[in-house]
Structures are given as C-alpha cells and as structure tokens.
Structure 1
Amino acid sequence: MLRDYQVQDADAVTRVAVAAFAQFAPHYSDWPAMADNVSRMPELSEHGEIIVAEVERRIVGAVAYFGPQAPKPAFFEPEWPIIRMLVVDPPARGQGFGRLLTEECIRRARRDGASIIALHTTPLMSVALPMYLRMGFAKLRDAPDIRGQPYAVCAKALEGR
C-alpha cells in the first residue's frame, strides 16, 4: 500500500533510508557524512511530498516528490518536478516497491500538469538505474559528483498529462 508520509513515520523512514544506502558505504569517499545526509530524509517533507510503501503497517520503502515550483538543486530546471531519495528496505527488494513509488511520483507530476519529470542517480545504483531506463527515463547530462560518486540527471517526458 502506498500512502503519504506522516510525522510519526520519521524513524521508520530514516531506518529504511539508511539500510537502503548501507550497501554503498564502501563506495562513497565520506560515508559518515553521506549516512548523515541520508538519515535526514524525513526533512524532505518540508518542501516535498514523501510517499511511503507499507506492508502490514511496516514501512518498506519511501520516495520524495518535489512539484514543479518546489525548491530543488540547481542542476534541475526549476519548473521540473523531481524524484528524490527512492529507498527500499533490503529485505523488501525485488517485490516492485521501487517501481510503484516511482510510478506514484509520475502520477503526481501529471496531476501537477508537468510535461517532464526528472531525477538524479548514479551507476552505483545498479538496480534503480536500469529500472528508471526501462520506465522511459533517459540521461540528459552529468550532475555534480556526490562524495566521490558520479551522478547524472535523467528525465522522462510525460505524454497524456
């Protein structure tokens, strides 16, 4: 089940976010700083909409959607809605939660009248990146590296808004 984030979800979302990124710890040049950043995922609700995936009242995934006018990093066009911090708890992977959460962000972008939706990702995300490509996202340009890892801006045109 997908639903909107609530303040009481903060600890569970933080747990899932840190668990989801933990496998990449050896690849980031400053893992403690990266882990600190990831653990602040609930703060994304200040300017965006966090969507959670829940199974039997347990949060197993989350993603942040930022609408067309929400503040966002400068490497995105200001009018684009964006997807940030897609995370799935490792024991829940392979069950389609990442795709469902991404599809919900696309639905919200259409709701907001957008003609494009964007995200940034890294080749390190060896499951998420191919999923995004299968869903119709394409690399537009490089984004700034994050703690030693290359990132790129990917976008998807939204037909049938």
Structure 2
Amino acid sequence: MLRDYREEDADAIVRVARAAFAEFEPHFSDWPLFTANVAKMPQLARTGEIIVAEDGGEIAGAVAYIGPRAPKPAFFDPAWPVIRMLVVDPGARGKGIGRQLTEECLRRAERDQAQAIALHTTTIMTVALPMYLRMGFVRSGEAPDILGVPYAVYVKSLA
C-alpha cells in the first residue's frame, strides 16, 4: 500500500534507507558521510513529497518526488520533476515495491503536467538502474560523483 509520508514515519524511513544502501558501503569513499546524508531523507519532505510503501503494516520502502518548480540540484533541468532516494527494505525486495513507488512518481509528474521526469543513479545500483531503463528512462548526461561513485542523469519523456 502506498501513502503520503507523515512526520512519525521519519525514523522508519531512515532505517529503511540505511538498510537499502548498506550493500554499497565498499563503493563509497566516506561511508559515515554517505549514511549521514541518507539519514536526511525525511528533510526532502520540505521541498517535495515523500511517498511511503507499507507491507504488512510496516514501512517497506519510500521515495521522494520533487516537483517541477521545487529547488533541485543544478544538473537537473529546473522544469523536470525529480525522483530522489528510492529505497526498499532488503527484506521486502522482489515484491515490486520499487516499481510501484516509481510509477507513483510518474503519476505525480503527469498530475503536474510535466513533459519529462528525471533521476540520477549509478551503475552499482544493479537492480534499480535496469528497472529504470525498462520503464523508459534514458541516460541524458553526467551527474557529479558522490564520494567516488560515478552518477548519471536519466530522463523519461512524458509527452
């Protein structure tokens, strides 16, 4: 079940985010800094909409949808809505939760009459990146490395 984020979800989505990214620890040059940034996920609710996925009454995933007029990093076109921090608890993987969260972001982009939606990710994300490509996202350029890990921008046309 998908629903909008509530303030009382903050600790649970930070726990899920840390668990979701744990497998990537060897790739980042400063893991404590990376996890400190991951723990800021609830702050994305200030400029965007966090969507929460529940499975059996527990928070199993979350994603932030940053709308077309909201502030975002300069490597994104300001007119694009952006998908940020898609996370799924490792114990809940394989149930389509990541895809459902992404599809909800696409619905919100259409609601906002956006012509395209974007995200940035990396090739080390061997589940997420292929899912985005299957869903029609296309690599459109580079994004700054994050602590030694190369990232790129992917865009899906909605027009």
Q: CA deviation at 1:55?
A: 1.4
- Which residue in 1 is equivalent to 2:4? 4
Matched length: 159
Give, as a single letter, the amino acid of the residue that structure 1 aligns with 2:9. Answer: D
Query: Separation in 2 of the partners of 1:55 and 1:156?
Result: 28
Q: Deviations over 1:95-136 (max 9, x none)?
A: 100000000000000000001000000001000000000000
TM-score normalized by structure 1?
A: 0.98
Aligned to 1:157: 157
Q: Structure 2: how far apart are the matches of 1:44 and 1:66?
A: 8
Q: Classify the secondary structure of the residue corresponding to 1:23.
A: helix
In structure 1, what is the equivalent of residue 99 of structure 2? 99
The structural deviation recorded for 1:56 is 2.2
Structure 2 length normalisation: TM-score?
0.99
What are the ranges of 5 or more consecutive residues in structure 1 without an aligned counterpart? Answer: none
> What residue is the counterpart of 2:109 in the other structure?
109
Aligned amino acid, residue 129 of structure 1: L
Gaps of 5+ in 2: none
Identity of aligned residues (%): 67
- Letter of the 2:137 counterpart: F
Matched, 1:62 2:84: no
Structure 1 segments, 4+ long, off by >4 Å, are none
**Quick one: distance in 1 between partners of 2:26 and 2:43?**
25
**What is the rounded CA distance, in whole Å, between the counterparts of 2:38 and 2:127 in structure 1?**
18
Matched, 1:145 2:145: yes
Q: Spell out the pairing of 1:121-140 with structure 2 (5 A cutoff).
A: 121-140=121-140
**In structure 1, C-alpha distance between the alignment counterparts of 2:29 and 2:54, rounded to whole Å:** 32
* Partner Cα distance (1:6, 1:148) in 2: 33
Which residue does 1:27 correspond to in 2?
Answer: 27
